Amino acid sequence: MAVKRAAVLLPLLVHLQLMLLHGMASASSERRSGTIVRQPRPQPLLQEKATLLALKQSLILLSPSVLADWNESSDVCGFTGVACDWRRHHVISLSLAGMNISGAVPPVIGNLTHLRSLDMSSNFLMGRIPAELSNLRRLQVLILGRNQLSGGIPPSLSELASMFYLSLKENRLSGTIPAAIFKNCTRLGLVDFGSNDLSGEIPGEASVNVADWFAILNLYSNRLTGRLPRWLANCTYLYLLDVENNLLADELPATIISGKQQLKYLHLSNNNGFWSHDNNTNLEPFFVAVSNCSQILEIEAGAVGIGGLLPSRLGTMLPPNISHLNLELNKIKGQIPADISDVINITLMNLSSNQLNGTVPTSICALPKLERLSLSNNALMGTIPACIGNATSLGELDLSGNLLSGSIPSGIGIGLINLYLQNNRLSGEIPTRLAECIRLLHLDLSNNSLMGEVPERVSGTAIIYLNLSHNQIRGELPRGLGDMQQVQAIDLSWNNFTGMISPQLSSCRELEVLDLSHNSLTGVLPPSLDLLEDLKNLDVSDNSLTGEIPMNLTKCTSLKHFNLSYNDFVGHVPTTGVFANFTFLSYIGNPRLCGSVVKRNCQRHRSWYQTRKYLAVMCVCAAVLAFMLTILCAVSAKKIRDRLTVVREEMFRGRRSGGSSPVVKYKYPRITYQELVDATEEFSADRLVGAGSYGRVYRGTLQDGTMVAVKVLQLLSGNSTKSFSRECQVLKRIRHRNLMRIITACSLADFKALVLPFMAKGSLERCLYAGPPDELSLVQRVNICSDIAEGVAYLHHHSPVKVIHCDLKPSNVLINDDMTALVSDFGISRLVMSVGGVANTADVGASTINMLCGSIGYIPPEYGYGSDPTTKGDVYSFGVLVMEMVTRKKPTDDMFEAGLSLHKWVKSHYHGRADVVVDQVLACMVQDQTPEVRRMWDVAIGELLELGILCTHESASMRPTMMDAADDLDRLKRYLGGDTAATFASSLGFSSMTIEDIDG
């Protein structure tokens, strides 16, 4: 009997209950002998009418027509949203969902004691849930979801013993879930607390009777911790379990779901950490349990940390009805089983960001309903199956970030909407069949070795995002670019495109990014580009474009990034409108441009390039001038050299003299703008070694042969001048082997540059991400972290004036020839002065109070709340950098979204599963080593991860100092060097604290 009841209740339970309460029970009359006879209005109903009118008065009605029929002259059973019992004695249902009402939930509702259903969802209700709702002892359905309610869930709701459906989702509720609700509400069948701010554990006990009714538990997007409650295993008719986006940590719930014939939805993604059986190495028990859930439709277990091999019989173990399988962002290894074709109803398969290898099985092509396939960021090799075009339902294919080679299949599916094949080793030409993909919205084939020309109509009219950059594509730009009416980004950079830029690009009215740099384009920049009102980024650098810069580009008021460098543009550089925001760095390598921005006289330019009237006279004058200068130089050369020698000697002695290029004070050699121009070959592209928001860095050679790095600041605002002054002030005060030193500086009104020692190996960011994958060993990474810690510890504790760096990240750490790390870029640093014994943080040059200091991903949380920069902020940034060194993942990586951060990701895998987050290059380095070396490797990785977690504690007071961190890393260096007596825990003062205590 129980099985039969559940089979009927499960699909219809909620629908029937609401229909009975809101529909049939709202009949306001009885039929007697075919005539509707109205009953006299009973006294209780008059009292309930008064209660409803008082309720209306307590609410804020945001629309005049809302509850207009709630008045004294109307029948209470005819009120909008009100239903009475069939005898018209009591109000039993109140439905105000989506009524555009605001204010607090009126406690007066507690007077409607016969109410069985209350629905006030999808409004703008605020404040706490009133405890008076516990007076509604007959209530079976309570729906307050999709409002702005705050505070905790009242424990008094547990007094509603008849409650079946309780929904408080999408509010701002906090605190814990009252355990009494699951103990006392013995008919509870549906609980939805999703998308709130609830914390603590899910109640671990429930009434025995709950198991007879319970079907749905929705707790997604909260901050719940602990394990899944084991009483769920007794809920025979469990239909949906959704605990995504929490902080739960538990073994995969094989026992809970086993035998659940009604289970359809299992959502576990984005939690603190789940693990598979046998110490996170065996996925088979979980999928065996899944095989017994014959009705299951969706399994979402992405970003939970599970590991092991996919079972070889996965296709036969998954129930035939399953449509969604999401296991992304885990540490699943091995090959994709060939029998995956047995899952004939699957529509979404996401195995991205794991450790899968082998090839893409051809059996995937046989999945008739497959709509989305994502296998990105693995180590898959071989070719893309030629049969992929047979998957006629396929709308999204993501194979990016693998080791795939060969060509793109010529028969690729014409139903594609999104195609991502970037960051592979693909070659050959772009298939012409892509032109038939008329629904294609996103096409990314970047960072491959594709050749040939772009098929004429590949750029279909529906495309929103097109990226073919970093390939070897040749030919003219596709004519179809102008037909893409909805395109927002076009990136064709770093190819071999030739020909002219078509004026038809101006038809792409939604375009925000246009990058055609590093090609061989010729002709002029079309003036019609001014029609692109939303254009934010225009880069045509490193081509062979000529003509004048179109003045009407000033109409592109959204333009933020503009790069015309290394072309052959001529004429005057505009300075009005948006052009006022761009410096000479946008025009470098265009010798025929003139104007104040590029420091070339336009009159001379116009005379030379626009007329030949005085050419003969100019030639004669030039010859005479050259002859006179030759004589003058011959007579005065020795005197000039002697004078220059005296000046330089005086400069080194600290004397100052006037000139066109003011220099940094005492003991820093004088250098002029022209000398920097000569040293960098006119700031040529061949000398460019780095660029960022601050400007560009060029490799230079001074007259005495010294190799230097010339850091040219991009002068966009007064803050750039302050940044230059600030960096000079810091660099001249500090001396440490792990801090960048300054050689000299050059400062003009519209040009400012720092001259620094040249580091051939570049930045730590380049070594981590752009260099050979095996460039940095574990010992080198530890040494680099130690160098950085020593340098910053000096700034915080030993420098003559305490310095807070404020922007510690890999791109601001340089590596010299012997792999020593030097902290650089003090453009937003702070000096801490001591005034009357009280530390005072000063922004050198000018105040930047309330400015958020640092780079996204490295900024400590307290800065976001307005706190002033402190040394503990640098400690936080250092902690992120340490975790980045171990994981080779940037904190701004695409995987870190929906609340997941580098800190949370590392912390969730710290216990027993550290290999999930460790850079796979490091893991490969140690595989063939002795057990002793592997043990030392495990110790070192564990120490680095723990140090990173401690330094990124959410509470600044709980973070160690940089001196403590430096001491800890010094001990770790000695340990890796053979000193097995080195210890770590005591140095940070956290010996009594476990990693679970770290709440950051």
Q: Which of 543, 483, 547, 499 is nearest to 517 (CA)?
A: 543
Q: Are residues 696 and 768 in the same domain?
A: no
Q: Are residues 377 and 410 in the same domain?
A: yes
H, E, C per residue of 592-647: EEEECCCCECHHHHHHHHHCCCCHHHHHHHHHHHHHHHHHHHHHHHHHHHHHHHHH
Q: Is 807 a catalytic residue?
A: yes
Q: Are residues 398 and 434 in the same domain?
A: yes
Contacts of range 42-48, beta carbons closer than 8 Å, 24 or more positions apart: 42/88, 42/89, 44/89, 44/90, 44/114, 45/76, 45/77, 45/84, 45/88, 45/89, 45/90, 45/91, 46/76, 47/111, 48/76, 48/90, 48/91, 48/111, 48/112, 48/114
Q: Are residues 803 and 726 in the same domain?
A: no
**pLDDT value of residue 166:** 97
**pLDDT value of residue 927:** 72
Instruction: Please state, in angstroms and as integers, the Cα–Cα distance from residue 347 to each residue in 255, 267, 316, 327, 365, following that order.
Output: 27, 16, 16, 14, 12
What range defines the domain where residue 725 resides? Answer: 658-758
Q: Is residue 105 part of a domain?
A: no
Could you report the average pLDDT of every consecutive run of 10 residues in the chain (1000 residues)? 36 42 38 39 77 93 89 90 86 94 94 95 95 94 96 95 96 96 93 96 89 91 95 94 95 94 95 92 95 95 94 92 95 93 93 94 92 95 92 92 94 88 94 83 94 78 88 90 88 95 90 94 92 92 94 88 93 90 87 85 52 54 71 58 41 31 47 86 83 78 87 64 67 80 80 85 86 80 95 88 86 90 76 44 39 76 81 94 92 80 84 76 77 84 92 89 93 82 46 37
Q: Is residue 346 part of a domain?
A: yes
Q: Are residues 831 and 910 in the same domain?
A: yes
Q: Is residue 495 part of a domain?
A: no
Could you write out the DSSP letters of every residue in 807-822? Answer: --SGGGEEE-TT--EE
Considering 332, 353, 374, which residue would you say is the last residue of a domain?
353
Q: Is residue 642 part of a domain?
A: no
Q: Is residue 950 part of a domain?
A: yes
Q: Is residue 518 part of a domain?
A: no
Considering 452, 486, 520, which residue would you say is the last residue of a domain?
486
> Kind and range of the H or E element at 561?
strand 561-563
Q: Are residues 956 and 912 in the same domain?
A: yes
Specify the pTM: 0.64
| CATH assignment of the domain containing 948 | 1.10.510.10
Q: Is residue 782 part of a domain?
A: yes
Q: Are residues 738 and 765 in the same domain?
A: no
Pair of tokens at residue 192: 């939805």
Q: Are residues 871 and 989 in the same domain?
A: yes
Rounded CA separation 70/59 (Å): 13
Q: Is residue 45 part of a domain?
A: no
**pLDDT value of residue 913:** 67
Q: Are residues 408 and 319 in the same domain?
A: no
**pLDDT value of residue 616:** 55
Q: Are residues 838 and 936 in the same domain?
A: yes
Considering 458, 486, 514, which residue would you say is the last residue of a domain?
486
**pLDDT value of residue 729:** 67
| Catalytic member of 85, 192, 398, 807 | 807
**pLDDT value of residue 672:** 83
Q: Are residues 260 and 371 in the same domain?
A: no
Q: Are residues 904 and 808 in the same domain?
A: yes
Alpha helices of 844-961 — where are they, by DSSP H? 871-887, 902-908, 920-927, 931-951
**pLDDT value of residue 349:** 96
Q: How many domains does the chain have?
A: 4
**pLDDT value of residue 457:** 72
